[in-house]
Amino acid sequence: MSASVSEFAFELELCARLEERREEIVARQLGASVADPGGRILDVVRVEPGPAFDERAAITSEAIPDAAIAADVGTGRARYWKDAFDCHPDRAQRAMERACEIGFFERELRNGRDYVRQTARYPDWYDRIVGIENKPDLGRPGDLEAQLRTDVSLALVDEIVLATESYVTRAHLHRIPDEVGVWRVHRDPDASSLEIEVVREPTRLSVDRPGIEPLESHPGRTEIDVVDADAKARARRRLAERAYGKGWRTYDFPDCGSCRPDDSSGATLPYCAWKGRVVDARSECGPSCEGYDPRPSDSESAASDADVDLEAERDRRTPWVARPEGTQRRQSGLDQFG
């Protein structure tokens, strides 16, 4: 079994366990860079709800575009949208359209121009953000040390944790920054249970101070970018919003008789009886697999898989709200200016 395959099953099962432990937002595979977008992807992100979480949940189930949040648009008088954004016009228009679509903005048409206002003030809804790097097998670390040093020096998240199935030695601990927490994860092969052993607690990082983001490494030197506190705050907001909108259930169920939805962990995961583990339908399943068992679309098992509602499951198990009533006010006669 390849490292990527092992990490996929590990990641889903860990997310399911974290979601069960406490009321928070759990998401996976999110960008955590500032100067180099996409340069660092966190495997798992936990966002702890803040005091105004319910206000955020009432607006929309989707991620709100950061450009719309930052725009000079309030809940009072509507503004011509082009005057409200301080970014590239194409990005501004995409953000405006998306904000209207999901109910964060409402739109008025005046003399052929779109005017917008917020349907609710954007709340201070999240508290601590924790990043988790999954490395089931420490014998194949890859760029682990460099990734964790980047997380610590940038300090975009409040805490960073390494999660592994390997026995953690003192040599392992010496090779990673002292600020990084370490979990040893014990899980059953059938994904029915998972326990977390805390080997080392993480140290709180200085998220409200400037950070250092390593960019490119060259012989004898490393290019860096100093990220100021305001840029980090905006990036944290984007990260929290992306986590809220995306979650971690971004996987498919294979159209294969060997695979079935398994909810023994509390969350419904794609479990393959032939492989004896959770599988990634996008990369592992299909005619090239020796255990592939195509089933007719009208079969009973296919029908049961189609009934899996991951959105409803997330709504039921987490503080995220799938279909909030929304905060958009009913406007009458707004098109009279068109």
Q: What whole-number distance in Å separates Cα of residue 226 and Cα of residue 39? A: 15
Q: Give the number of other CB atoms < 10 A from CB of residue 222.
A: 11
Q: What pLDDT is recorded for position 297?
A: 60
Share of the chain above pLDDT 90, in %: 72
Residue 189 pLDDT exceeds 90: no
Burial class (CB in 10 A: 0-12, 13-18, 19+), 307: exposed
**Tokens in use for 291?**
């255990």
Residue type, 327: T
pLDDT surpassing 80 at residue 301? no
Query: What's the rounded Cα separation, in Å, for the pair 251 and 246?
Result: 12
Confidence of residue 37 (pLDDT cuts 50, 70, 90): confident
Handedness of CA 94, 97, 102, 104 (dihedral sign): positive
Q: Is the per-residue pLDDT at 5 higher than 80?
A: no
**pTM to 2 decimals?**
0.91
CB 44 within 8 A of CB 248: yes
In the numeric block, the tokens 């100067």 are attached to 35
Interstrand relation of 41-49 and 126-134 (parallel, antiparallel or unpaired) = antiparallel
* For residues 298-309, average pLDDT: 60
**Three-state SS string across 223-266, please?**
EEEEECHHHHHHHHHHHHHHHHHHCCCCCCCCCCCCEEEECCCC
Q: What is the pLDDT, as a whole number, of residue 337?
A: 38
Per-residue confidence band for 334, with pLDDT thresholds at 50, 70 and 90: very low
- For tokens 């052929």, the residue is 112
pLDDT of residue 335: 40
Residue 18: per-residue pLDDT: 96
For residues 245 and 194, the model is more confident at: 245
pLDDT value at 226 more than 90: yes
Judge whether residue 299 has pLDDT over 60: no
Whether residue 303 has pLDDT greater than 70: no
The CA distance from 181 to 159, in Å, is 8
- Do strands 159-164 and 126-134 pair parallel, antiparallel, or not at all (unpaired)? parallel
Check pLDDT > 60 for residue 165. yes
245: nearest Cα among 64, 18, 90, 37: 64
Q: How far apart are CA 156 and CA 135, in angstroms?
A: 20
Sorted by where each starts, the structural domains of the chain and their CATH numbers stand as 9-54+124-246 (3.40.1350), 65-121 (1.10.10), 259-317 (no CATH)
Band of the pLDDT at 4, cuts 50, 70, 90?
low
Two structure tokens written together for 185: 């994860």
Q: Are strands 113-118 and 79-80 parallel, antiparallel or unpaired?
A: antiparallel
Of 142, 151, 186, nearest to 166 (Cα)? Answer: 186
Per-residue pLDDT band for 220 (boundaries 50, 70, 90) equals: confident
Residue 111 gets the label, from left (phi > 0), alpha (psi -120 to 50) or beta, of left
Whole-number pLDDT of residue 221: 83
Average pLDDT on 14-35 reads 95
Q: Could you identify the residue written with the tokens 């499951």? A: 313
Q: How confident is the model at residue 330 (pLDDT cuts 50, 70, 90)?
A: very low
pLDDT higher than 60, residue 333: no
The mean of the pLDDT values for the chain is 90
Helix ranges (DSSP H) in the chain: 3-21, 53-57, 66-70, 81-84, 89-102, 144-154, 170-175, 229-246, 281-284, 300-306, 310-317
Q: What's the whole-number mean pLDDT along residues 201-220?
A: 92
Question: For the CA atoms of the chain, what is the radius of gyration?
Answer: 22
* Structure confidence at residue 79 (pLDDT): 96
Read off the DSSP letter of residue 334. G
* Mean pLDDT across 286-292: 89
H-helix or E-strand spanning residue 107: strand 105-110
User: What integer is the mean pLDDT of 49-73?
Assistant: 97
Answer yes or no: is pLDDT of 53 > 60. yes
Predicted pLDDT of residue 264: 87
The model's pLDDT over 84-97, given as tens digits with 9 standing for 90+, comes to: 999 999 999 999 99
* pLDDT top residue among 29 and 7: 29
Tell me, what's the pLDDT at 38?
Answer: 87
